[in-house]
Structure 1
Amino acid sequence: MFKKFGFSGNSDFFKDLGDGIGKGLFILCAAIGTVLLTVGGAYAGSYTFSTNWQSTMGIWSSLWLIIWNPNSALLSGVVLFLLGATGTYKDQDRQNKKMLELSKENEELGGTKSALNSAQEELQESMSKIIGLHGELVQTWLKGMAKFLELDSNSRVTIYYEHDEEFYLLERYSKNPTYAKVHRQKFPLNQGVISKAWEHESHIESGCPHSNSYEEYVKYLDEHYEYKKEKIDTLTMKSCRYYAKAIIDADIHIGVIVLEGTEINFFENNFERKVTEYCRDHQGQLSKFVRDSLLFDKEVNIKREGKSISVEDDILQMMETER
């Protein structure tokens, strides 16, 4: 309990108490001095000290007369008033200096905050540039893969990474700008082609009818993926062939790469073997792309907040590969 009074610790109790008493004493002196000046001034004009002195008998009476008379009151009043006024002036001067110091500190603090905000903005801008460069690098890699596999404008390739029990689209490429668009960013972990590849390392969809046979196409998707006609009607790319392969880093699944096409001849010319070999030969790059995306995940999600989500789902969402 004694800490609050400053017996130990960092309490300023007695310092604050002393400062308060000092300030009050100066004010009291000035007030008493004013009263004494008023009283002394009222009687000093008609007061004759020598007359009263001659009539005074005894030491105590004489001493009281010396102390308590209009002239002494005037003198004491002047002294007390000057003491109180001087103390009050010095105290106000200290207060003004303290206020100036606090004002200067506030200005310096404001400058520090401004500098910190500028540094944070520059850091965020630099991070955005890094994320942009990373996306361009992945795009370039996907273009190289599409060229190697001779993908046409009826095809596309997409990389997804897993974070917090959901799939996120990292990058996508297609010669067809309509199919290259990204309408959704996030997908469930337990649905569709992506989910099957995630669980079993790879998944091939080769039995889906062409979308020209629309009734059969819709029936197949409904039976195999419980994907309703209302959703299918909203798809821009109505793919019927998929090849999805898990991206594995140190025996841990971290993402999925999905290739899809709208034509039934998508798997011709040893397509599956070529994809398998290409992904195996470039597994290190794929893993690094996904690891970097996980590193940037917070910034990527912030960047995505400004993007609108389309009502359109891709066939991969249905199988969680199309959006």
Structure 2
Amino acid sequence: MKEQWFGYSSNKKVFERLGARLDRFLHIASSAIGTILIAISSIFLSNYTLATEIENIADAKGFLVFLYENPWLYFISGAVSLLLGAIGISKDHKNLSEKIGALTQANHELKGEITDITRLSDNRRAELDKQAEDTHSLRGDIATLHEELVRQWLINFPTPKDKKSYCRVSLYYYSEKSFTLLARYSENPRYSRMHKQRFSQNEGAISKAWQHGEWIDSDCPDYTQDVEAYLAHHKEMYLFEREKTVSFTMKSCRIFALAVKDAGIRIGVVVFESDKSDALNARVIKELKEHCAKYESNMAKFMRQGMLYDRALNLQRAPSAAIEQNDVLKSLRSAA
């Protein structure tokens, strides 16, 4: 369908656009037309005798011809048009100057308000940062206290009295497809040190217990007696590379690991280990199983709490509304 220039079906709005332009340029057009009329009529004024032309008016037609050919009429009309245009342009300039002045004043006031708000926002941001740091520090303190609480609780696990410094018990919780050390205890300070290293769900005795419910390794060679056999055993049984096995502080040769359940769902593993081949015998393992069965709910609770503390510490702080507002205000201030 071909669109028309005019009519109900037309969207061109020709006269509306012309009217809008006429509103803006009327004073300029009036001055220009007045100047042109004065210039043209001035050419004919020197040879025009008004009295003679008036005497020649005989009828209405003659009067119309008199008006049409009268340069004085065009001269006066041009002067009036020029005067009206000049007055209109002068008023436009005055109004525009007042508007510019008002906008400039408003801009200065806005800059002042932005500066004040930015100052308040900076102070608020500093307060929020301080609160976030305090909260993060408090969470860290709570996590440390929880770790110490669990470590003290692990002291009660049964171990051979004459082998306590050669044994260790550790709790690991399962999260994000890996195991994280929650707490551990050994009378030997070297073996009791904590770390935040994560263990893969497919490596180590932890993985074996996680998959099968429990794991007993009573065939591992003693590291002090046969290093190569020890390394080969860990490579074949637990998929540990040589460098990783050598880096372990405790070279355990006897391991008993048990999956910990919460409402029937495995959430972690408790590991008992010793670097002495006669430390974890059948009697000790039986006592450990009975102890774990009795206190499994306690271990599950510790693991759940440990996961919550760990997630809280690892949460990235989202930008607060005040910080976002501060960035916007700074950009406005720089643009102004």
Structure 1 length as normaliser, TM-score? 0.65
Superposed displacement of residue 83, structure 1:
1.4
| 2:152 aligned residue | 143
Which whole-Å CA distance do the structure 2 matches of 1:152 and 1:138 have between them? 21
Matches within 5 A, 1:240-319: 240-267=253-280, 270-301=283-314
What does 1:218-233 align with in structure 2 at a 5 Å threshold?
A: 218-227=231-240, 229-233=242-246
Determine if contact 1:135/1:171 at 8 Å carries over to the other structure.
Answer: no
Cα displacement (A) at 1:94? 4.6
* Counterpart pick for 1:119 among 116, 120, 128: 128
Q: Which residue in 2 is equivalent to 1:96?
A: 104
Aligned to 1:65: 75
The answer to whether the 8 Å contact 1:173/1:180 transfers is yes
3-state secondary structure, aligned to 2:179: strand
Residue 130 of structure 1 corresponds to: 139
Contact 1:128 1:299 in 2 (8 A): no
Kindly provide the CA deviation profile for residues 25-73 of structure 1, in whole angstroms up to 9, marking residues without a partner as x.
66x5786798799999x9xxxxx9xx9977886456465333213xx46
Structure 2 Cα separation of the partners of residues 172 and 97 of structure 1: 69
Compared CA separation, residues 253 and 65, structure 1 to 2 (3 A): same
- For structure 2, the 5+ residue unaligned runs are 1-15, 40-44, 55-65, 317-336
Residue 209 (structure 2) pairs with residue 197 (structure 1): yes
Per the alignment, in what secondary structure is the counterpart of residue 168 of structure 2?
strand
Instruction: Spell out, residue by residue over 1:66-117, the C-alpha distance to the aligned partner (whole angstroms, 9 max, x if none).
Output: 3213xx4663354123211122123324533553565467553785587367
Structure 2 counterpart of 1:65, which letter?
A: F
Aligned counterpart in structure 2 of residue 75 of structure 1, from 83, 87, 97: 83
Q: 1:239 to 1:90 in 2, by over 3 A?
A: same
Gaps of 5+ in 1: 1-16, 43-47, 304-323
Aligned to 1:164: 176
RMSD: 4.6
CA distance in 2, matches of 1:65, 1:52: 14
Change in Cα spacing, 1:76 to 1:205, as seen in structure 2 (3 Å) is same
Q: CA deviation at 1:200?
A: 2.3
For the Cα contact (< 8 Å) 1:29–1:84, is it kept in 2? no
Measured at CA, do residues 236 and 67 of structure 1 come closer, stay the same or move farther in structure 2, by a change above 3 Å?
same
Equivalenced residue count is 281
Assess if the C-alpha contact under 8 Å between 1:37 and 1:78 holds in 2.
Answer: no
Give yes or no for contact 2:205–2:238 (8 Å, CA) kept in 1. no
Structure-1 separation of matches of 2:303 and 2:245: 29
Q: Which sits farther off after the overlay, 278-287 or 195-204?
A: 278-287
| In 1: Cα distance, 2:23 partner to 2:158 partner | 94
Structure 1: how far apart are the matches of 2:181 and 2:153? Answer: 19
Do 2:27 and 2:88's aligned partners in 1 also have CA atoms closer than 8 Å? yes
CA contact 1:242–1:261 (8 Å) conserved in 2: yes
Q: Does the 8 A contact of 1:194 with 1:256 survive in 2? A: yes
**Alpha-carbon deviation of 1:248?**
1.0
Change over 3 Å in CA distance of 1:229–1:285 after alignment to 2: same
Q: TM-score, normalised by structure 2?
A: 0.63
Report % sequence identity. Answer: 26
Q: In structure 1, what residue type is equivalent to 2:143?
A: H
Q: State the match for 1:188 in structure 2.
A: 200
Whether the 8 Å contact between 1:202 and 1:244 is mirrored in structure 2 is: yes
Q: 1:148 to 1:283 in 2, by over 3 A?
A: closer
Distance 1:180 1:202, change over 3 A: same
In structure 1, distance between residues paired with 2:23 and 2:178 = 72
**Deviates most, 81-90 or 121-130:** 121-130
**1:193 positional shift:** 0.9
2:226 aligned partner: 214
Alpha-carbon distance between aligned partners in 1 of 2:26 and 2:95, rounded to the nearest angstrom = 9
